[in-house]
Amino acid sequence: MPQGELVKVSAPSGRETQIVSFKVGRESYGIPIAALHEIVRVPEITVVPDAPAHIEGVINLRGKIISVVDLRKRFDVAATPLTRHSRILVVEHRGRLAGMIVDSASEVVRIPEGEIEAAPSIMRESGLDAVTGLGKCKGRLIILLDIDKVLTAREIGNEPAAQKSAAGSGKAEAQSASAGK
């Protein structure tokens, strides 16, 4: 066997993905560390009227108003009271800061590229496109997430309903106007 091929086969690629791992319910999740701005304890949250159920409200973080999503609600995990381990992961999302409430922030993990598998096709086919892959680390699986899809998927889903109700109210106004003639 030529020496060049032996080196190529035996040398690890050295590529790693660095993530912040956290827990929501029993599951471990991860997001790219590059997207993380900071991790904070859960302060008082101001509730915003008419917000989707998974949006907990907003916080004032050193003068910046940040929307906060409860990942338990977002992932349809049974609600539990916040604990001393609960945290908000402040991430950059579309040029702005957003917060995600998690049960606990675990650690920064480096996962070798060879230990990350694509999300199973059944997840993608059933609309679970927020999962980008599964990382194997220290004998456990970490579900890797696309922050953009986690923070926007359901909000986008609600827009057509709002547009329909606006269109519907326009129809009702037109009908009542024509009935008055």
Domain boundaries defined on the chain: 14-179
Q: What is the DSSP letter of 119?
A: P
Q: pTM for the whole thing?
A: 0.73
CATH of 14-179, one of 2.40.50.180, 3.40.50.720, 1.10.443.10, 3.30.1390.10: 2.40.50.180
Could you read off the pLDDT of 8-43 as tens digits, one per residue?
A: 333 345 689 999 999 999 999 999 999 999 999 999
Residues 157 and 132: their CA atoms lie apart, in Å, by 20
* pLDDT at residue number 95: 87
Which tokens go with 58? Answer: 């907003």
Confidence band (pLDDT; 50, 70, 90) for 5?
Answer: very low
